Amino acid sequence: MKNILYIGNQLKHRTGAITYLDVLGPLLENEGYHLVYSSSKTNKFLRLLAMMYAVFLNRKKADYVLIDTYSTLNFYYAFFVSQVCRFLRLKYLPILHGGHLPNRLKRHPKLCKLIFKNAYKNVAPSNYMRLTFEAYGYSNVITIPNVVNLNQYPFKPKDYDTIRLLWVRSFSKIYNPHLAVKILKSLQDEGFQASLCMVGPDKDGSLQTTKEFAASLNVKVEFTGALTKQEWIDLSHHYNIFINTSEVDNMPVSVIEAMALGLVIVSTHVGGMPFLIQNGYDGVLVNPDDVQGFVKAIKILKVQTDQTIQLTLNARKKVENYSWENIKPLWFSLFE
C-alpha cells in the first residue's frame, strides 16, 4: 500500500480547529494507506519549517505528498512545500480548498504556475474550482468532492415554530460573520422570535469584532468558540436554519454537514455554492451581503414548512453522494 505524506494544519489538539487533514487522513489510514502528517506547530513560521523538513525526511518513502492548499496566508505553505517537492522530484497533489484561489490565479499567475503546473494532479473539491483552473489553462485538475462520514450525522427533522439560526465557520472577514448578526437583528426588529448561535475559532480577530458588533446592536448571540465535531453535531439538533454568509467560498464542509443533519441551508450565491446548492430544490441562495435577501428567505422557510421540509430531504439525499463509500474509489484510482 502507498505511503503518503499529508501537509496541512494539524491543530485540532491545540486550537480545536478541525481541518480536512483530520477528516481525509484517518479515512485513508483505515483503507490501509500509511500516512505521515505535518504540521502541528502553532507558530506559523515554525509550522512552515516543519512542513518542509517533513518533505525532506520522507523523500525516499513518500509515494505522494498531499498539500491542503488555501488562498490566504497559508497559500505560501503550499508554495514552499511544493517547490521542495519539485526539487526532490516527489509527486505532490495540492487539494484546492481556498475560495480565493481564483483571485490568486488572476493576480499571481507566475507564482501559481510554479505550484499548480508542476503538480502531479491538482485535486478540486468542486467542479467550480476545477472549471476555474481549467479556464486558466491548467489541464492537470480532477474533481474529488469533500467527504462526509454520514454515520456521524444523524438526520433530525425540525420544527419551525421559532427561528433558530446556526452559523459554523472560522471567524474571518471573508466569511462575513457580521452579516449573521445583522440578519438576526432584522428578524427581531420585525417581531420574530429568533436566536443565533455562532460556532468556530477566531482566524483574524473577527470573533472579537463580531461580539462587539452584536453588543453595539443590543443583540444577544451565543458564541461557542471552537467545538469538537461531536459537540457541534449535538448542538445542531437545537437549531433549524443554517446560514452561510461568505463573501467567497469553494465547497465548505460545514455546509455539507449541515445538509446531512437536516438543517435547511440559506447561503450567499458565491464561488462554488451554486455547484453545491440548487436554489429552491435543496437550499436557498441569496446575494452576498444582502440582509433583506436572507430575511425574506428565512421568513418564507418559516411559513412554508412543507416546502422547507422537502428542501432538507433533498439536501440529505444529495450529500449521500459525498459518503466515503462513494468518494474513496476516486482516491484509490488517483493513487493506483
Judge if 16 and 113 occupy the same domain: yes
Q: What is the predicted pLDDT for the residue at 15?
A: 55
Kindly state whether residue 280 falls inside one of the protein's structural domains.
yes
Judge if 123 and 212 occupy the same domain: no
Q: Would you state the cell numbers that stand for residue 207, as one nine-digit string?
A: 470573533
Q: What is the predicted pLDDT for the residue at 74?
A: 87
Helix 291-303 to helix 305-319 angle (10° resolution) is 100
Judge if 114 and 155 occupy the same domain: no
pLDDT digits (tens, 9 = 90+) for 166-178: 999 999 999 999 9
Domain boundary among 129, 144, 159: 144
Q: Give 34: exposed, middle or buried? Use CB within 10 Å, 0-12, 13-18, 19+.
A: middle
Judge if 116 and 177 occupy the same domain: no
**Neighbouring C-beta atoms of residue 219, cutoff 10 Å:** 18
Q: What does pTM read for this prediction?
A: 0.89
Q: What is the predicted pLDDT for the residue at 14?
A: 60
Among 218, 174, 176, 219, smallest CA distance to 197 is for: 219
Q: What is the CATH number of the domain that holds 265?
A: 3.40.50.2000
Judge if 40 and 85 occupy the same domain: yes
Are 98 and 70 spatial neighbours (Cβ–Cβ below 8 Å)? yes
Kindly state whether residue 335 falls inside one of the protein's structural domains.
no
Per-residue pLDDT, averaged over 151-155, amounts to 92
Judge if 22 and 167 occupy the same domain: no
Q: What is the predicted pLDDT for the residue at 255?
A: 96
Domain boundary among 116, 144, 172: 144
Per-residue pLDDT, averaged over 116-138, amounts to 96
Tell me 289's DSSP state. T
Q: What is the predicted pLDDT for the residue at 229?
A: 87
Q: What is the predicted pLDDT for the residue at 153?
A: 94
Judge if 204 and 265 occupy the same domain: yes
Distance CA 120, CA 118 (A): 7
Q: What is the predicted pLDDT for the residue at 95?
A: 97
Judge if 135 and 177 occupy the same domain: no
Distance CA 254, CA 263 (A): 11
Q: What is the predicted pLDDT for the residue at 99?
A: 86
Q: Which domain holds residue 299?
A: 150-321
pLDDT digits (tens, 9 = 90+) for 60-97: 999 999 999 998 888 999 999 999 999 999 999 999 99
Kindly state whether residue 331 falls inside one of the protein's structural domains.
no
Least reliable range by pLDDT among 207-216, 246-255, 287-296: 246-255
Q: Would you state the cell numbers that stand for residue 64, as one nine-digit string?
A: 505522494
Per-residue pLDDT, averaged over 132-137, amounts to 96
Kindly state whether residue 139 falls inside one of the protein's structural domains.
yes
Structural domains counted in the chain = 2
Kindly state whether residue 85 falls inside one of the protein's structural domains.
yes
pLDDT band at 214 (very low <50, low <70, confident <90, very high): very high
Judge if 54 and 159 occupy the same domain: no
Q: Would you state the cell numbers that stand for residue 78, as one nine-digit string?
A: 503550499
Kindly state whether residue 110 falls inside one of the protein's structural domains.
yes
Q: What percent of the chain has pLDDT over 70?
A: 98
Judge if 91 and 184 occupy the same domain: no
Q: What is the predicted pLDDT for the residue at 10?
A: 83
Q: What is the predicted pLDDT for the residue at 98?
A: 85
Kindly state whether residue 201 falls inside one of the protein's structural domains.
yes
Q: What is the predicted pLDDT for the residue at 27?
A: 94
Judge if 73 and 114 occupy the same domain: yes
pLDDT band at 19 (very low <50, low <70, confident <90, very high): confident
Judge if 64 and 129 occupy the same domain: yes
Domain boundary among 144, 179, 198: 144
Kindly state whether residue 332 falls inside one of the protein's structural domains.
no
Q: Would you state the cell numbers that stand for residue 313, as one nine-digit string?
A: 430531504
Q: What is the predicted pLDDT for the residue at 276?
A: 94
Q: What is the predicted pLDDT for the residue at 62?
A: 97
Per-residue pLDDT, averaged over 246-266, amounts to 94
Name beta bridge partners: 150: none
